[in-house]
């Protein structure tokens, strides 16, 4: 089966993808990543959060990030969607040199339906998502209209998360 293929009878799943950029034209990298994912015939972007400027986490000697979350409907498996995300990162010049270091684009598969898995190549839900305000703020925003109960549950995690005061809605 080709990277882009899915099973013909596969049902549609809702997934949430976190995006971040802190090198160059950050907004353009976010827009291009969304466009590349949307171009796939089995991925439909059905919601986008605002863009938030955030201070770096982990390796802090770098420029601030622009972060956002998109909601997609897809018939791709979680693994195939993840492969498309890695391909988009590669096309946009992502280099993995420093853990949590500067990057043109970073795409994280946060949630894929209700899937829970712990594999070396893909852990779902994203393992550090509940600790990071820069993920939770835009995730809750894009999730709230469609899954209000799930958004309220995530909001409880946000209340305990560190750094939420550093997550600011960005306007260019």
- For residue 171, what are the CA distances in angstroms to 52, 53, 55, 66, 70? 8, 9, 16, 11, 18
User: Is 25 noted as a catalytic residue in this protein?
Assistant: no
108 is a catalytic site residue: yes
User: What length does the chain have?
Assistant: 172
Is 26 tagged catalytic?
A: no
d(CA 126, CA 105): 17
35 is catalytic: no
- Contact by Cβ (8 Å): 17, 85: yes
Which is catalytic among the residues 106, 119, 128, 160?
Answer: 106
Catalytic residue (one of 103, 121, 150, 156) = 103
Residue in 67, 42, 40 with CA at minimum distance from that of residue 163 = 67
Residue of 26, 51, 94, 132 marked active site: 94
User: Given 71, 80, 108, 132, which residue is catalytic?
Assistant: 108
Residues in contact with 10: Cβ distance below 8 Å, sequence separation at least 6, in sequence order? 75, 76, 77
Catalytic machinery residues: 94, 103, 106, 108
């Amino acid at each position: 089966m080709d990277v882009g293929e899915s099973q013909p009878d596969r049902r549609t799943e809702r997934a949430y993808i976190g995006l971040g950029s802190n090198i160059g034209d950050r907004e353009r990298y976010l827009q291009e990543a969304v466009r590349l994912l949307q171009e796939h015939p089995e991925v439909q972007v059905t919601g986008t959060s605002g863009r938030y400027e955030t201070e770096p986490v982990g390796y802090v000697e770098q420029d601030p990030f622009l972060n956002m979350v998109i909601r997609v409907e897809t018939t791709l498996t979680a693994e195939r969607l993840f492969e498309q995300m890695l391909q988009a990162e590669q096309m946009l010049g992502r280099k993995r040199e420093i853990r949590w270091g500067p990057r043109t684009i970073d795409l994280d598969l946060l949630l894929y339906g209700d899937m829970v898995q712990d594999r070396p190549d893909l852990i779902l839900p994203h393992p550090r998502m509940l600790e990071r305000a820069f993920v939770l703020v835009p995730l809750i925003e894009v999730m709230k209209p469609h899954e209000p109960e799930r958004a309220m549950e995530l909001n409880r995690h946000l209340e305990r998360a560190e750094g939420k005061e550093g997550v600011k809605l960005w306007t260019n």
